[in-house]
Homo-oligomer: A and B are copies of this chain.
């Protein structure tokens, strides 16, 4: 059977049958491989991930942020990153170097080291895989699967809707060169996405009340739906924090800003469920 016939969710389920379990559990955001240390590996092919206004530098930056988001959501601060790159030999050297600079600068923005890695020959465009190691600020990683009960609260870091607006520009083929002048924050959110490390202070302070955490890289609706499904519980949404530029953008194009907030993705905020 072909992979596209069964869908990504089913593929992941099949793979998990062959995987060893470590805390906080299979299919969680990052894994504790040794007392106090978490590991996350994540990657993408550039053709899937590079928007028309993105540079190679942006792609390196984002790859580190993606991994940081998973490490931080489980309660660890990143300490080191390495990358493996697949490169087409007919690509420009400058593009490779820009990608590496993005990786390094993004790692440094998280007070972490970028220690290199590996390069290989790809047949088509660039692929990138980043591994990050995080040191726990709490005793155990915060699981995704825990008993959520009636009356628990959902809280989230950051604001929503910027990347949703950026994807709206892309999928509707709007004039980004013009729009970028007006909606700087919307475009910047897909160029230099940043995880707020101050979230770790929140985790340290509140950790006895935090039952569940999950990063929001696949979109707020997807994240909440996943948590709702695992726990077989309904989640009521109130006061989704929206970025002001999203309200302006939604008004200009006659959109519901909540849709931009719920179905965006790559926002690298973190959702907690607290008792």
A6 at the interface (CB under 8 A from B): yes
Which residues of the partner chain B approach A114 to less than 8 Å between Cβ atoms? 18-20
- Which residues of A pack against B, CB within 8 Å? 1-4, 6, 8, 11-12, 14-16, 18-22, 26-27, 31, 33-34, 37, 39, 41-45, 47-48, 79-80, 82-84, 86-94, 96-97, 100-101, 104, 107, 113-125, 127, 129, 131, 133, 135
Chain A to chain B: the 4 pairs with minimum beta-carbon distance, closest first: A4-B89, A129-B129, A33-B80, A19-B116
What is the bound-complex CA distance between A86 and B123, given in angstroms? Answer: 12
CB A18 to nearest CB in B, in angstroms, measures 5
Please pick, from B47, B92, B96, B115, the residue contacting A31 in the complex, using a CB distance under 8 A.
B115
Which residues of the partner chain B approach A16 to less than 8 Å between Cβ atoms? 116
B113 near A122: Cβ-Cβ < 8 Å: no
Q: Report how many copies the assembly holds.
A: 2
B118 near A33: Cβ-Cβ < 8 Å: no
What is the bound-complex CA distance between A118 and B48, given in angstroms? Answer: 15
What is the bound-complex CA distance between A17 and B94, given in angstroms? Answer: 14
B48 near A127: Cβ-Cβ < 8 Å: no
Q: Which of A2, A3, A101 has the most CB of B within 10 A?
A: A3
Give A22's nearest chain B residue, CB to CB.
B115
B96 near A41: Cβ-Cβ < 8 Å: no
What is the bound-complex CA distance between A118 and B12, given in angstroms? Answer: 9
Give A86's nearest chain B residue, CB to CB.
B127
What is the bound-complex CA distance between A116 and B47, given in angstroms? Answer: 24
Give A66's nearest chain B residue, CB to CB.
B118
Contacts A34-B37, A39-B80 given: A44-B11 contact, CB under 8 Å? no
CB A112 to nearest CB in B, in angstroms, measures 9
B122 near A127: Cβ-Cβ < 8 Å: yes
Ordered by A's residue number, 22 sampled pairs between the chains whose C-beta atoms are within 8 Å are A2-B90, A3-B89, A3-B96, A6-B93, A11-B119, A18-B97, A18-B100, A19-B100, A20-B104, A20-B107, A22-B80, A26-B116, A34-B79, A39-B80, A41-B131, A43-B118, A44-B120, A48-B121, A84-B84, A86-B86, A122-B124, A127-B127
